[in-house]
DNA sequence: AGGTATACTCACTTTAGGGTGAGTTATTGT
DNA sequence: ACAATAACTCACCCTAAAGTGAGTATACCT
């Protein structure tokens, strides 16, 4: 048993937010889909193309990768830059500032996992 | 378009972990179930009993609350303390150090959400 | 004797998400 | 002429998660 709150401490805790509003729900729902944060991380690490991302995750299908990429674009976590319109299309993905800030927190989560799992 | 990595920067990025291993998958899977982090937060804020938690989340059913609590106990994010064995049972829940460290990161996620959503 | 309270569990249905197969477009290489 | 390539989308299935209804134990209160 660890860190019980002292009785009479008026229910305050050292967590900044006094009430975890729905934003956290939304954030968690948006970051939890399988592969999504790994793909984001890979893009942050410089992997720009669909095909290279495919190679990076052999057990991830084209379809799911496409879905995750469009989600990441919709979330404004990555930017999609069209290099060549005509087939064979060439598109590059880049992480945004918003995505980079999120990744820092995801990395904290990773560190927490390493410590406690 | 924001923060593209400079070409030739050898794919390094300012994220600590060089590769986001499966731990992040596991962590995300464990924290994403609906209500779970909110229940954890409420417990951290001093709400100790099943019935008080029920009142705190009117749209959360007994069954899901029970499931989330047992998950949180299994994850060692909360401790379950039996106050009275015989019916009517009385049980108190307390957050663990592990849970408290996680909540700090969840709060960062919350702040990130407030900033960017 | 019947109702209430606490903290659940079990079985079931419904919904959302993950995953698969096929098809598209236009250009380059053999 | 034919295959390959890049980056997808559409339609479908199937499993896992969410949510719902009912039931349980025991003691106290009226």
pLDDT, residue A17, reads: 46
User: Any atom of strand D under 7 A from CB of A88?
Assistant: yes
% of chain A at pLDDT higher than 70: 81
Nearest residue to A104 via CA among B31, B5, B13 = B13
Comparing A21-25, A82-86, B36-40, B61-65, the range with the smallest average pLDDT is A21-25
Q: Which residue's structure tokens are 């106990």?
A: B73
Write the pLDDT tens digit of every residue in B3-41: 333 332 223 334 444 455 567 888 999 999 999 999 999
Q: Where are the domains of chain B?
A: 34-116
Whether residues A32 and B37 touch (CB distance < 8 A) is answered with: no
Partner residue facing B23 (CB), from A4, A14, A117: A117
Return the bridge partners of A84, or none.
A90
Average pLDDT, rounded, for chain A: 84
DSSP state of A21: -
Find the mean pLDDT for residues B73-86.
94
Q: What is the mean pLDDT of residues A52-65?
A: 94
Average pLDDT over residues A31-38: 95
The pLDDT > 90 percentage for chain A reads 72
Task: Check CB contact of A117 with chain B, cutoff 8 Å.
Answer: yes
Who among residues 70-89 of A has its Cβ near strand C, under 7 Å? 86-89
Q: How far is the CA of A29 from the C1' of C18 (A)?
A: 15
Q: Model confidence at B85, in pLDDT bands (50, 70, 90)?
A: confident
CA nearest to A33, candidates B24, B35, B77: B24
Direct distance between the N- and C-terminal alpha carbons of chain B, in angstroms, rounded to an integer = 17
Q: CA–C1' span, A94 to C29, in Å?
A: 30
Asked if B114 and A79 come within 8 Å (Cβ–Cβ), the reply is no
pLDDT at A38: 94
Candidate CATH numbers 3.20.20.140, 1.10.10.10, 1.10.3720.10, 3.40.1130.10; the one for domain B34-116:
1.10.10.10
């Amino acid at each position: 048993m660890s860190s019980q709150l002292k009785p009479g401490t008026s229910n305050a805790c050292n967590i900044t937010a006094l009430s975890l509003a729905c934003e956290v729900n939304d954030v968690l729902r948006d970051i939890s889909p399988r592969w999504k944060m790994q793909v984001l991380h890979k893009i942050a690490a410089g992997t720009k193309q669909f095909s290279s991302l495919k190679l990076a995750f052999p057990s991830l299908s084209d379809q799911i990768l496409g879905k995750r990429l469009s989600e990441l674009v919709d979330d404004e976590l990555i930017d999609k830059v069209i290099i060549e319109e005509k087939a064979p299309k060439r598109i590059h993905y880049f992480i945004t500032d918003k995505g980079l800030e999120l990744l820092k927190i995801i990395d904290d989560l990773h560190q927490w996992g390493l410590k406690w799992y």
